Structure formats: structure tokens, C-alpha cells
Amino acid sequence: MYAQKLRVDVIVGAQRKPCPMDWLDAFCMRNFTGSAEFDDTLPVAEGQMEASLKVNPERFAAAFGEWLTKRGKANGQPVTVEIHPVSSKS
């Protein structure tokens, strides 16, 4: 179990939605970034992931958004990623 439970939203244009599981899986599990700082992540559902305390959510969001944009996941539009902690009380 990871210490951080996070909600991951993607924003393309004016549309915000939970990040698709296959996008999270491709970035987290296959680690296309070559950056060890994101190794301790686990996608658990659409728009949800868990991470160790070594993972900085802001850096993850920036790197993930850049990666999604470069791979054309939004049909050529820039992708912004926002990550927010999920309350353990929910």
C-alpha cells in the first residue's frame, strides 16, 4: 500500500475528466520517462493512483502532461494534468 492516494484529472481545452486508466498505466507501469522518481506509483482505477511519499505530485503532473501532449493523446492539443490528494475519510 502506498502512502499517497491521488486523483488524477486531465484537461484538454475546456474539458476536464478523470485520466483514462490506459494513459496512467502506460506512463506509470512502463516508465517511458526514464525517471526513477516515478517508479513508486500504482494506477488503481480511472483517475486514481497511489504513490509513495518519494513521488512529488506537482512534478509528476508536469511530466505526465508533457508526455501525453508529446504523444498526441489529445489529437494535437496540449494536455494539462492536475493531481489532488484523496481524503482517507472518503
Looking at residue 32, its pLDDT comes to: 58
pLDDT tens profile 29-87: 765 566 777 888 999 999 999 999 989 999 999 999 999 999 998 888 999 999 999 97
Residue ranges of domains in the chain = 4-85
Let me know if domain 4-85 sits in CATH 1.10.287. no
Under 8 Å between Cβ of 42 and 51 = yes
pLDDT surpassing 50 at residue 90: no
Q: Does residue 32 contact residue 41 with C-beta atoms inside 8 Å? A: no
Question: Tell me: the pLDDT tens digits for 3-32?
Answer: 899 999 999 999 999 999 999 988 887 655
pTM over 0.75: yes
Per DSSP, the three-state class of 2 is: coil
